[in-house]
Amino acid sequence: MTSTIIQTESLQEFYKRTNQEIPYDLLQERSGPGHFNVKLSHTIARKTPYNRRDYFKICLSNGGSGIFRYNGQEIMLDRPCLIFSNPSIPTSIEIPTGSATRYYCLFNNRFIEGHISPDIQYACALFNSSLPPVIWLTQEEKDKLHLYFVEQQLLLESDYPFKWDMIRNLLLLLIHEGIRLQQAGFSQLLPGSDRIVKNFFTLLNQQFPVHSPENPLKHLSPSHFAALLHVHINHLNSVMKKQTGKTTRAIIQERVIYEAKAMLQNTDWNIAEIAYALGFEYPSHFNKNFKQFALVTPMEFRAAIKPVFPQYL
């Protein structure tokens, strides 16, 4: 028996496949602040390759005729919707007849790194593959989201010096609107396990931000949260692993590193001050933990921060 190998498409391969010029920043062999693009697509009957991607993609579909294939499932795109494509899940869109108009934006992880907290990622299908990728929209909701894409495109074509901050904020609005609309469609009576996850993230986020090295974080162990949630530690670990795919301790560590990145970017505290503020007994422990998650040391991360985007994407 032969099996089909599902490929992973890169951003460069996407631009080649769609007969677009590869943006300048993707031709450079360097790390950087990331890549973002937004387009209005007029698609005539066609089928995109069924593959994974190394980038994120959000589509706003006007409806009409179309089929969205997602991890072996087929969803008819016969009305307005917002589509969140998770990079790890193979997808394809087929327009069998006629044509379709849709806005899409795509971006890589570097563009949003440090800007979306773990609990927001858990709530969004872009990052959590267990959530439905298609969010159905009313005409009013579609028109509202349409304006976000239009504004992103106008900013992209402008020479406004802070356009990337505005584009990222509009992208975050798109993500939050998708989460809000999707959760509004869910039952208000959450299962017990979902309530535990929601309350856990609420308690975790209450610990942040850290305002002073003299007032460090405390009690960030899984057992501490289990006590606050009035559940056994084994039950909390089981629920978090089942619902998020991560251990409770890994989620806590990920949130701490998220905060560490923000502090490295937005404060002039030295590495030791940040380490102590985040509850580490020794800066060496912080350095080791940070590198485990970020793949670079805190000093290397801070040195690599580039506040100015290239002029052409």
Query: How does residue 140 score in pLDDT terms, banded at 50, 70 and 90?
Result: very high
CATH architecture of the domain 8-185 equals Sandwich (2.60)
CA distance 241 to 237: 6
The DSSP line for 1-69 is ---PPPPEE-HHHHHHHTT-PPPHHHHS-S--S--EEEEEEEEEEEE---BEESSEEEEEE--SS-EEE
pLDDT of 189 strictly over 90: no
Q: pLDDT (tens digit, 9 = 90+) per residue, 93-110?
A: 888 766 667 899 999 988
Please write the tens of the pLDDT for every residue from 7-66: 889 999 999 998 898 888 787 655 556 899 999 987 666 788 888 899 999 999 887 778
Annotated domain spans of the chain: 8-185, 192-304
Span 192-304 CATH architecture: Orthogonal Bundle (1.10)
Among 26, 18, 110, 107, which residue's Cα sits nearest to residue 313? 26
pLDDT digits (tens, 9 = 90+) for 289-300: 999 888 899 999
* pLDDT at residue 312, rounded to an integer: 35
56-61/81-85 β-pairing:
antiparallel
Segment 205-237, tens digit of pLDDT: 888 888 777 888 877 899 999 999 989 999 999
- pLDDT for residue 268: 87
Q: pTM above the 0.85 mark?
A: no
